[in-house]
Structures are given as C-alpha cells and as structure tokens.
Structure 1
Amino acid sequence: MNLPILTTFAKEVEHELHELLQWWIIYTVDEENGGFYGKIDNYNVSIPHAPKSLVLNTRILYTFSSAYLSTKESAYLSMANRAFEYLNTHFLDTKNGGFYWSVTYTGEQLDGKKQIYGQAFAIYALVEYYKITANTKALSLAQGTFALIEKYSFDPIYLGYLEAFSIEWKSQEDLRLSDKDQNEQKSMNTHLHVIEAYANLYTVWPNDTLKAAISKLLANFKQHIIDQKTHHLHLFFTANWEVKSTITSFGHDIEAAWLLQEAAESIADETEIEIVKTIALQLSEATEKGLAKNGGLWYEYDTATQHWIKEMHWWPQAEAMVGFFNAFQLNGDEKYLKHSLQSWEFIKNYLKDIKNGEWYWGINDDYSLLQGEDKAGFWKCPYHNGRACLEIMKRIKLHSNHSI
C-alpha cells in the first residue's frame, strides 16, 4: 500500500540530490585559489578570502564520491577528484601526519590542530573516494589516519577517544569542536563520527584491529553515551565518562539511530545487530519528543533548565528523513514513515531556497530565517542533505524490491 507514496518520495529526493549537487558545482568551485570557497552567503555570494575547513572539504569529497557511486554522473567524479586533490595537497600534514583543521583561502596551514572529529571525516571521505576510483593513496591515507587516531586519541584506561591534539599530536587545553561546545575530554559527536568512519573503512578493509575498535565503540555508546532511562544521547564527558551535559540534541539522537545500526551491520556481528536494532527504535522513539506539529524537529532541549532551543536547523531534518525511515524498515510502523515524509515536506516548505538553491541553515519558531548563517561554509556542507537523499533512494529501492 505504500509503494506509490514511496515511489514519489524516491523520485523527489533523487531530483533534489541533483539540484543540490548542481548548486555546489556552480557556486562553490574556487577557480582562482583552488579547491572550494570557504564561505558562501544566503544569496550565493562567495566570500573569497574566507578560511577553508577540513570539515567542508572532506564532506564535499564524501558526498560527491557517494553520489557518483550511486549515479555514475561524470560531473560528480570531477568534483570528487578536485576535493581529493585539494585535501591531499593542502590539508595533509606531511610532517606530523593527519590533517589540518583549516587552511587560508590560498591553501596555507591556518589551524593545524588535530581535531579527532575532523580526522574521522577524512577517513570517511577517503574511503568513499577509494570506492569509486580504486586510488590506493586514498586508502593508504585512510588506514594511516586510523592508525594515528588509535595511537594518540584512544584512551587505553577508560576506552573511547579524546577530543583534540596540537599539530604535533600533543595534549592541549582547548578541546572544543566549536565555540558552541563544552571544553570536555570526550564527546558524543566525535564518537559518533569515529564509528561512522571506521564502519565505512571496514567495508573496504576488513581488518581485525579495526573490527575490534568498532565493537568497543558500540560498547561505549551502550554503556556511557546513550541514557538508559530516556534513550537520548549524553553529549559531553570527562575522560572516565562522567556526564557533563544536560542538553538533548534531537538531530544527533535520530542520526545515531541509523548510524549505529550501520556500524553493527558493517562488521556482520549478528548478536550486536539485533541489540542495536532495538537501540535504533528506542532512539527513534525518544526523538519523537522533539517533533513539532509542522513536522519539523526542534534543535535542542535543556533538561536542567527545561528550556527549548526552538530553532529548526537543516541537518536534523535531513537526519530525521533517514532515521525515521530506518525505524519504519525495522518494524513496519507507519508512524515512522509518516515522520520521515513530514520531515521532507518541512524541508520543501521552509528550508529549501526555491530562488537561490540549496537549503537555508534554519528557521526560528516564527518561521523567520536564522540570521548570520551560511549557505556553504565551515560547517554547512552537502553531506547531511545529500546523504539523506542518497539513503532514501537506496532504502526505497531495497524496500520496493522486497515488496515485489
């Protein structure tokens, strides 16, 4: 009974994927200085002297590689090649290993710190690029970055991964991912993207040490990161996993729901898969608390002050599309399919920029645009929305094949 709805959903997100990526091809390529502009405003005006971030470059590399893997569009391969070349030439620290956090608009090292979140995205992207090119340098860099994370960031006493290091992989005081984050030794966000990266790496390099690392990460989530009572994620921790946050991040809850399941499936651990499928449904149900009547997902809620951050950012809506669809696939409950479809409707109605392309960063609860945010920038990339389109396309195809 869902096939006509799903067919329409798949066609719409496939069209959206190509529109999104076409925007990135047209507006983000920096012909003068190489790579991609570090910042583009809501009106498609590039800020040519803006710094270029590791997050932006690796997410462009991942998204266009993944899109080429799915569609075989030659323009996507060209963008992926450009992103790989720039990453390899300007972000790679050939002296100390790993990748710089940011470079100047001309490609010189700006912030050389080794933020583990950024190293993880390098692995994630390099693996995806290797899948479409069989470029052994890409795989070698991914494997080498994995070794560096295990050598410097892995905590042999309490397990898990420490947040950040200096350019030379030494301890440093400021561990924050951004100004919005708490300065703690461990975070949910870094662990989520390390396991995401490791799971992708395992698909092309089924290494026993890597498999063990993925298993340990799943244990970290079950034992420390997921609240056993509320099934929300804790966000920040001391080295020994003392919880240091009271914020609920609904976007991360629903993103973790499907990424943790994907990680368990990557190592083909049947016992773990069944456990994580249950967790995926618990996280999805917990995320429902953040849903608004208009189908959007609120940004955050502080349990200590009972204060809502009543903003709707682009990336939680994209992750809700995938996470709720995953829940629907798991138990067939049509409420989850409805949530996924409503997320897409919300995006079309309020976040998609019909005139200038791409999606806005987000809106306030009165539907006004969030001010001062980028269309593309240090954090605003094609990864969440592009990947959401690709995931929905893939999952509906799989669902339809099973239904026939």
Structure 2
Amino acid sequence: MENRILHLKNKAEKELQNILEYWAKNMLDERNGGFIGEINHLDSKNILADKGSVLNARILWTFSAAYDLTKNPEYLNLAKRAFFYIKNYFYDKEFGGIFWTLYHNGAPKDTKNQIYALAFTIYGLSEFYKIYKNEEALEMAQNLFYQIELHSRDTQKRGYLEAFTRNWEEIEDLRLSEKDANEKKTMNTHLHIVEAYANLYLVWPNQKLKEAIKEILEIVDLHFIDKTKNHLKLFFDENWVEKEDVISYGHDIEAAWLLQWCAEAIQDLELIEIYKKHAVHFAESTKEGIDEDGGLWYEFDPKEKKLIAEKHWWPQAELWIGMINAWQLTQNEEFLRITEKNFEFVEKYIIDHRKGEWIWGIREDYTPILKDKAGLWKCPYHNSRACIELIKRL
C-alpha cells in the first residue's frame, strides 16, 4: 500500500510540474501584458483573443497555490503578474465589479458582472494574499465579497442571483455559457461562491463572512442535493423551482470534496459531518459515470436516458480528489483504485505528452475533441489543483 501511495504522489508531483511549465512557457503576453487569451488544439497562440476573467483568476490561484506548495520563485513572479493584471484591467474601479472579458489589449469588452467571475477572483486574490500578504489583494477580495452580498444575495428567499450589468442592474441573459439554462440560481455559481468565501475566510476570519459560508452550505444541502439519487440539481428560478437538467458527474465529484473542505474551513462540526456523508454518497453515485477504461463520462441526460459520451479533462481531475477524499473518510480501497485507474486513463488519453498540458477531452471512439488547450474555460486550475491535493493528501 505504501508503495502505491508513494507512486501516485510522485506521478502527481511530476504532472504538476509539467502543467505549470506549460503555462509559464506558453501563456505570457509580452506585447500587451498579463497572459494571452487562447491557445488552440494545434498549440497555435492567438495573441488577438479576448482575455477572460475566469481564466486570469484561475491563473492567479494556480501559481499562488503552486508557490505555497513548492516555494519556486518563478511561480511567485507569475502570481504577481496575474494579480497586477487583474488589478489594473479586470477590476472595475468605478462600479466595484469584475469585467467578464477584455479585448486583447486590455480594454473592457463584456462588462457584465457574472457572480461566478467575482467568486473566482476572490478565490485567486485570497490565495495570493496567503503567499504574499499584499494588502491591496485582500482589500479587493473584501470589496468583491461586499458587492456580492449587496447585489447578488437574495435576502427574501436566500441564495445568490447569477449576473448583473456593469452598474448592477438586472440583466436578461444570466448564463455562464451557451450550454447552461438561463436561470437565476445555479448550483455551479453557489459552489464557487462558497469555495471563494471559504478561501477568503482562511486569511480574513470575519464573522459576516463565516455566516455567509454557513448559510450557503445550508442552502446547498436543502436545495441543490438530490438526497435520493445523490446527484446535484443544477438550475432553479428565483423561487427555488427546479428546471431539471443533466447529471453532471464532474460537478458531483467536485462538490463531494469541496463542500466538505468549506465546512472544515469554518470549523462547523455539524456541517462537517453532513458534508462528510455527502462526500461518500457522491463518490458512490459518481461510480455510475465511470467507463471500463477508468475515464469519467461528462454528463447523463435522465429524460433522454442518454449519455453525453465525451470525457472532458476537468471531471477526471476532480475525480482524483473526490475519490481520494472518500478513501480517506472510509478507508475503502476501491476509491483509491478508482483514482489510480483514472490517472492511467489521463496519462494515456488526456495528457499531451508531446506539446504539454491536457487536451480538452476525447469522444466515445477515443478521437480527440478539437477545442482549446487554453482559453476562457480551459485553465490550469482543475488539473493543477488535483495534483496539489493529491500531493498534500498522500
């Protein structure tokens, strides 16, 4: 057993280094500052691509967390680069939000306040503050917290609303992406608000922040978890009427460990116990989405009884952490074996051994999905975090 654990940890350390090396070498925008917006599936850089707030916030989190683990000064420099670019270009000093996208030269493009992006910026800023104690970073994170609480929090029916205009008016299109339902309250945004708040709480143990984390965890337990099937419910209107959608295996297994971590951040013993149970239940239910080759399918449509037969990069990464966490909670070796087998799947089909990083994913017939290597949604956060968590936990 010890040899197996050490072997898995060593593989995670090596893969973390490979991921970070790719982003450090390929993503710097030497012309306009910060990081370029896109590298396509052929590894061709698009220096004219729009720059996304989520990508940049996740780069900030990644290199901050990597520096915290390794103390490699290059990672600190890259974290600083990400921070100053976010501060100077993405942070809306007039209205206190975060621009969704910028043109390649840093000028604002889509100026909506998508709460998901504000949450990820808090997540990145708080991680950066851990390693560098930059007071501006902490102040920005605090300001974004106050803006979310002021504008997004539903004080009548609880929960958080999805999106607003730049000056915090209502907006018609609330969707994170084209595939999402246009609903006012979503699991994905609540998951990442509480993740961001918990990370901020670790550097700023504020009572109001703690109460917000506790309330979101209660809301998730009440509304977003289907306790009979142990899957997440994804979309609701403002009155908590569900719009039924797919089963998202990646989100299920990500929530499995991440919500437990949030409960542990505020040391709420009752919520810790609730989310430890959910963590194991979600790990069990996620097994139904694992193929014989060890890969995790993307989604399942219960209405159509149809598998969305693709294996994207990020659910594989979250599977590692969720299953290792379930193994730690139960000592059931099956969960460890699932991580080991999925790691082999990722090495065989998802990691680009020639050019670096991970491809978007594969289809049922094992042909690659020809989408970004880096872009608005293809970021170094899921896979680097999976490596970091494995290294720490093992």
Q: TM-score range by the shorter chain?
A: over 0.9
The residue identity in structure 1 corresponding to 2:388 is L
1:395 aligns with 2:393: yes
Counterpart in the other structure of 1:142: 141
1:119 aligns with 2:88: no
Q: Conserved in 2, the CA contact under 8 Å of 1:43 and 1:356? A: no
Counterpart in the other structure of 2:299: 300
Counterpart in the other structure of 1:4: 3
Distance 1:349 1:245 in 2: 35
The residue identity in structure 1 corresponding to 2:257 is W
Distance 1:304 1:162 in 2: 27
The residue identity in structure 1 corresponding to 2:282 is L
Q: Within 5 A, what are the aligned runs for 1:369-380?
A: 369-371=368-370, 373-380=371-378
Shift of residue 246 of structure 1? 2.5
Counterpart in the other structure of 2:132: 133
1:263 aligns with 2:256: no
Shift of residue 45 of structure 1? 1.3
Counterpart in the other structure of 1:13: 12
Distance 1:263 1:32 in 2: 39
Counterpart in the other structure of 2:323: 324
Normalising by structure 1, we get a TM-score of 0.97
Distance 1:160 1:108 in 2: 32
Shift of residue 358 of structure 1? 0.3
Q: Within 5 A, what are the aligned runs for 1:229-378?
A: 229-371=228-370, 373-378=371-376
Distance 2:268 2:180 in 1: 34
Distance 1:43 1:26 in 2: 16
Q: Within 5 A, what are the aligned runs for 1:155-194?
A: 155-194=154-193
Query: Which consecutive segments of 4 or more residues in structure 1 shift more than 4 A?
Result: none
Does the residue aligned with 2:38 lie in a helix, a strand or coil? coil
Shift of residue 382 of structure 1? 0.3
Q: Within 5 A, what are the aligned runs for 1:15-34?
A: 15-34=14-33
Distance 1:241 1:135 in 2: 39
Determine which of 379, 384, 392 is the counterpart of 1:381: 379
Shift of residue 259 of structure 1? 0.5
Distance 1:122 1:16 in 2: 25
Distance 1:267 1:341 in 2: 31
Shift of residue 289 of structure 1? 0.9
Q: Within 5 A, what are the aligned runs for 1:31-50?
A: 31-50=30-49
Counterpart in the other structure of 1:93: 92
Counterpart in the other structure of 1:399: none
Shift of residue 50 of structure 1? 0.4
Shift of residue 44 of structure 1? 2.0
Shift of residue 158 of structure 1? 1.2
Distance 1:126 1:44 in 2: 29
Q: Conserved in 2, the CA contact under 8 Å of 1:195 and 1:263? A: yes
Distance 1:334 1:28 in 2: 39
Distance 2:44 2:351 in 1: 17
Does the residue aligned with 1:100 lie in a helix, a strand or coil? coil
Shift of residue 343 of structure 1? 1.5
Q: Conserved in 2, the CA contact under 8 Å of 1:37 and 1:47? A: yes
The residue identity in structure 2 corresponding to 1:124 is Y
The residue identity in structure 1 corresponding to 2:244 is S
Does the residue aligned with 1:106 lie in a helix, a strand or coil? coil
Distance 1:279 1:216 in 2: 17
Distance 1:74 1:215 in 2: 36
> RMSD across aligned C-alpha pairs, in angstroms?
0.7
Shift of residue 42 of structure 1? 2.1
Shift of residue 195 of structure 1? 0.6
Shift of residue 103 of structure 1? 0.3
The residue identity in structure 1 corresponding to 2:303 is A
Does the residue aligned with 2:300 lie in a helix, a strand or coil? strand
Counterpart in the other structure of 1:402: none
Distance 2:174 2:245 in 1: 19
Shift of residue 240 of structure 1? 1.4
Distance 1:341 1:213 in 2: 36
Shift of residue 275 of structure 1? 1.3
Q: Conserved in 2, the CA contact under 8 Å of 1:27 and 1:44? A: no
Does the residue aligned with 1:327 lie in a helix, a strand or coil? helix
Does the residue aligned with 1:363 lie in a helix, a strand or coil? strand
The residue identity in structure 2 corresponding to 1:394 is K
Does the residue aligned with 2:247 lie in a helix, a strand or coil? strand
Does the residue aligned with 1:94 lie in a helix, a strand or coil? coil
Does the residue aligned with 2:327 lie in a helix, a strand or coil? helix
Shift of residue 220 of structure 1? 1.0
Distance 2:80 2:217 in 1: 33
Summarize deviations over 1:192-241 as a string: whole Å, max 9, x none.
00010011011111111111111111111111000121010011101111
Counterpart in the other structure of 2:150: 151
Does the residue aligned with 2:307 lie in a helix, a strand or coil? strand
Shift of residue 245 of structure 1? 2.1
